[in-house]
Chain A
Amino acid sequence: MRARTRTLTGVLAAAALAAAGCNPTPDDSGGDDQKTKTQSGSISYEAADNQGPAKPVDGASRGGTLTVMQPADFEHLDPARNYVNVQQVAGGMLYRPLNGYKEDGTGKLLLVGDLATNPGKDVDGDCKVWEFTLRDGVRYEDGTPVSSKDVAHGIARSFAANLNEGPHYIQQWLYPGGAYNATYKGPYDGGKPVPDGVTTPDDRTIRFTFPQPHCDMPYAAALPTSAPVPAAKDTRANYDLRPFSSGPYRVKSYQRDVSLELERNPNWDPATDPLRNAYPDTVRMTFGLEQAQIAERLVADGPADQAALSWSDVPPSVLPRTTGAGVADRVVRGPTQYNWVLSINTQRVTDLSVRRALNYAVDKDALLKVLGGQAAGTPATTLMSPTTAGFVPYDVFNAPVTGDKAKTAELLAGKRPKLVLAHSSLELRTQQAEALRKNLTDMGFDIVMKPIDNSSYYDEVGRKDNPYDLYLTGWGSDWPTGSTVIPPVYDGREIVAEGNQNLSYLNEASVGAEIDRVRALPAAEQDAGWMALDRMIMEKYAPVVPCYYDATYELHGSKVGNAFLSDAFGIISLNGIYVKK
């Protein structure tokens, strides 16, 4: 799934960092990655990591109301439909998936058990059968204990056609081949109560049996679809507005497009929760303000907004006011899992030297400038984002960020390739494309620009026989391992007629073979394998020009304590946040 962060921009706002979260960030010296915390993430089965309660935060105080100001309401809070990062962090206050990410703001990211006692047992050591044991003492908001059957029901209902917006990894793994819900359509309308391969031997155990090995299961189990939904409380489509709480908070009131207010779930026991400190008494999410207004309010830090934060990036117009004293220390910034690349349609641009020439030619700095500053994000040289587990920076071409004319000319050897550059019609995307056209024309290419309406942009470039040569595309991983980047985007065997994710249409047997080999590695060794493959693809095929790693640039008020960027979600984490007295 591509659109993980979705920023719905209002009508008046400088529209358009839309579609797939491209976040501006101010000057970051290119290449210097001291800000980019290299993923040290891994799956932890250590008892100390998996045990509740969460480690107290130094200086934190309990109580108060935390406000989260958002430009637009969440599209979905129903765990089966929750596939956007802000929704997942908000949903994490209400319900607990089997697994979760334990973070402390230092860049250390651990996948541990959330509802489960640990990140899942690979029963036979072949990644096909996964067993999770639920913690004792986890209760819903009405005091009833959480049962593994509720987790199974949550998984089952995520197959329903009208609850189809969520991630479908586990669903697809249970029913491989064809659409995830081609066979099983959920428990409603007389469907089986649970899908094939899901069993609950007792109230605390749930077991998944996949036809094929899936060593990523612990990560997939951290997605919201594994949160428990008791069948008796399943209000189907209406569940979106009032999920039944198994987390530290419950819905006090929810007025669509206006506000969502969370209050404490009195039956939540901190001793059962290794992730959440749940310091504030109330969490209030308000919707409908423009991005710029939110940023201005947080910059101003008025009394009413001091205990507020936003997951919406500071827009370029407000950036200059965030560097002063009293504001700069309230900025939370860092890389996200998103990497933007200039995809080269390798079916049309078959000449490797042209693709390599493009890698020397592209002015990455110019692309970032459009997004508000010298470096709105960081120039990229790899396929995976620095937030990926096992990330090792490399640069095959070592070109300056503004491009290398001599090298480009050398590789083009007197040719002047004519290329069609497709771009989304969004204002900023158009500006980026224009900058790219100028840059590439100057570098010795003939560029024809083709605007595409934003809503059908990915549909258009996702058509195998699309008539375009170049297009800027963004990809964010669903969990911080290479397995959600390299296989979906660079495996030529996945290419279909429409709806492709492999947008360079790279179809190399050697890549496919390597993907299969890495997948078969023990989970612990996969990270290095994906990283090596990342480099190999760039060295041998150069199917894309990595452009920039997207960055987050968020603000919080002066009374918000322990606000740090979650590497798992790319936004401020709420788990250990507190309101200063």
Chain B
Amino acid sequence: MLRFVVRRLLVAALTLVVISLVTFGLFFAVPSSPAKVMCGKNCTAEDIAQVERRLGIDQPLPRQYADFVGGVFAGRTYGEGDFRQDCPAPCLGYSFRNNQPVTEIVAQRAPVTFSIVLGGAVLWLGLGISLGMVSALRRGTAFDRAAIGVTLAGASMQVYFFGLILLYLLVYSTGLLPFPSYTPLTESPARWAAGLLLPWMTLGFLNSALYARLSRAQMLETLSEDFIRTARAKGLPARQVHTRHALRAAITPIVTIAGLDIGTSLGGTFITETIFGLQGLGKATVEAVQFLNLPVVMATVLLAAVFIVVANIVVDVLYAVIDPRVRLG
């Protein structure tokens, strides 16, 4: 297990290096100069050159990359003289637009996205899996058919559509819920939850549709397995057969997909964040792209990659924990 994790981490690090190189290349290959964007109008060539020096983008690309990597591990200093800005390790860059190290920006934005995704995931997994399980156990009943219908609707609906409907129904026209906002969990758990209820409901409903269908199919497949018949033949009560034996086996592929889904979402849920006006990583990324705020773009893209890579490792480890047949090595 340990060897597996270490090896996977090494591969992950390599992946991140490649992704960072590609991002670096891509964003520094764009035609519009970030220095020009930052400098604004009335900017002389001299001014632009100065800004480029401050950003460190006057250097050749390999040197810039080396500086970036160096910054991650040892911190670095941007600019010169009057424009000196320190960026302590782990320095993911310094945003001159925000006048902040990117790490700080990420630290402000990431909790928002995390809260949205984790709360939503609890809802969509809980709702989706239980709905799918019950559907499978009551296959062919009115409940099952209704659940299939609802989940089909959910699976084919888009976040922005459903989110806006919820906003109209629960906020704009009835005022049952406040417009979403983010309060740190540490500040007030109640307000944290109240402010995120709508995005959770949106993500919960839409994604649960997918998970309900998936878990229903998995459950039906598992229920026809021989070991379920064995469990019943032992005289186990139905509930134990369904939970301890069927669910345990049916959940494995769901864990995989959920892990990757969550990992991907942690990188930013731009549409959800936009609809509900929440300032998470997704919006930070898109805003950074709009303003050609390259350090932030780099950091958020890399971070998203980190989440996906880590999610992959977690899923593999979980898989091994769930299924003893899987050997990590």
Report A's interface with B, CB cutoff 8 A.
Answer: 10-12, 161-162, 164-165, 168, 179, 188-189, 236-238, 240-241, 255-258, 286-290, 293, 296-297, 299-300, 302-305
Contacts and interface: CB of A to CB of B under 8 A. Distances in A.
22 contacts: A11-B290, A161-B47, A162-B47, A162-B51, A164-B42, A188-B82, A189-B81, A189-B82, A240-B99, A255-B108, A255-B279, A256-B100, A257-B98, A257-B284, A286-B277, A290-B274, A293-B167, A293-B277, A296-B167, A304-B178, A304-B179, A304-B181
Contacts of A162: 39, 47, 50-51, 83
B286 interface: yes
A139 to B, nearest CB: 26
A164 to B, nearest CB: 5
A238 B82 contact: no
A237 B96 contact: yes
Given A12-B160, A286-B277, A304-B179, 5 more contacts: A164-B43, A287-B279, A293-B275, A297-B179, A304-B181
Contacts of A296: 167-168, 172
Question: Of residues A257, A287, A296, which shows the largest number of chain B Cβ atoms within 10 Å of its Cβ?
Answer: A257
Question: Of residues B42, B82, B173, B275, which shows the largest number of chain A Cβ atoms within 10 Å of its Cβ?
Answer: B42
Contacts of A11: 274, 286, 290
Nearest to B46: A161
A146 B170 CA distance: 50
B83 A302 contact: no
A570 B9 CA distance: 57
Contacts of B329: none
Question: Of residues B172, B275, B283, which shows the largest number of chain A Cβ atoms within 10 Å of its Cβ?
Answer: B172
B97 interface: yes
B247 to A, nearest CB: 39
A10 B97 CA distance: 18
A258 B99 contact: no
B109 to A, nearest CB: 8
B3 interface: no
Contacts of A286: 277
A513 B128 CA distance: 78
Contacts of B287: 257
Contacts of B51: 162
Tier of interface size on chain B: 35 or more
A165 B96 contact: no
A241 B95 CA distance: 13
A258 B40 CA distance: 22
A162 B55 CA distance: 13
Contacts of A10: 274
B65 to A, nearest CB: 25
B274 A258 contact: no
Nearest to B82: A188
B222 to A, nearest CB: 41
Interface in B204-261: none
B4 to A, nearest CB: 40
A289 B279 CA distance: 9
A257 B43 CA distance: 25
Question: Of residues B51, B96, B171, which shows the largest number of chain A Cβ atoms within 10 Å of its Cβ?
Answer: B171
A165 B178 CA distance: 38
Contacts of B46: 161
B171 A297 contact: yes
Contact of A299 (B82, B100, B172): B172
A300 B170 CA distance: 11
A302 B178 CA distance: 7
A305 B181 CA distance: 12
B274 A12 contact: yes
B41 interface: yes
Contact of A236 (B41, B83, B175): B83
B277 to A, nearest CB: 4
B44 interface: yes
Contact of B171 (A237, A287, A300): A300
A278 to B, nearest CB: 25
Interface in B116-150: none
Interface in B69-108: 81-83, 96-100, 105, 108
Nearest to A189: B82
Question: Of residues B46, B81, B277, B278, which shows the largest number of chain A Cβ atoms within 10 Å of its Cβ?
Answer: B277
Interface string B178-206: 11010000000000000000000000000
Nearest to B42: A164
A244 to B, nearest CB: 15
A515 B51 CA distance: 39
Contacts of B277: 286, 288-290, 293
A300 B175 CA distance: 8
Contact of B108 (A258, A299, A304): A258
Nearest to A321: B172
A555 to B, nearest CB: 13
Nearest to A69: B277
Nearest to B51: A162
Given A189-B82, A237-B99, A289-B277, A297 B172 contact: yes
Contacts of A168: 42
B179 A305 contact: yes
B108 A303 contact: no
Contact of B41 (A12, A165, A290, A304): A165
Nearest to B287: A257
Contact of A288 (B81, B179, B283): B283
Contact of B279 (A165, A288, A303): A288
B274 A161 contact: no
Contacts of B171: 297, 300, 302
Interface string B285-322: 01100100000000000000000000000000000000
B82 A236 contact: yes
Nearest to A188: B82
A225 to B, nearest CB: 14
B47 A164 contact: yes
A296 B277 CA distance: 13
B283 A300 contact: no
A322 B97 CA distance: 36
A165 B179 contact: no
Contacts of B275: 12, 293
A238 B94 CA distance: 13
B179 A258 contact: no
Contacts of B168: 296
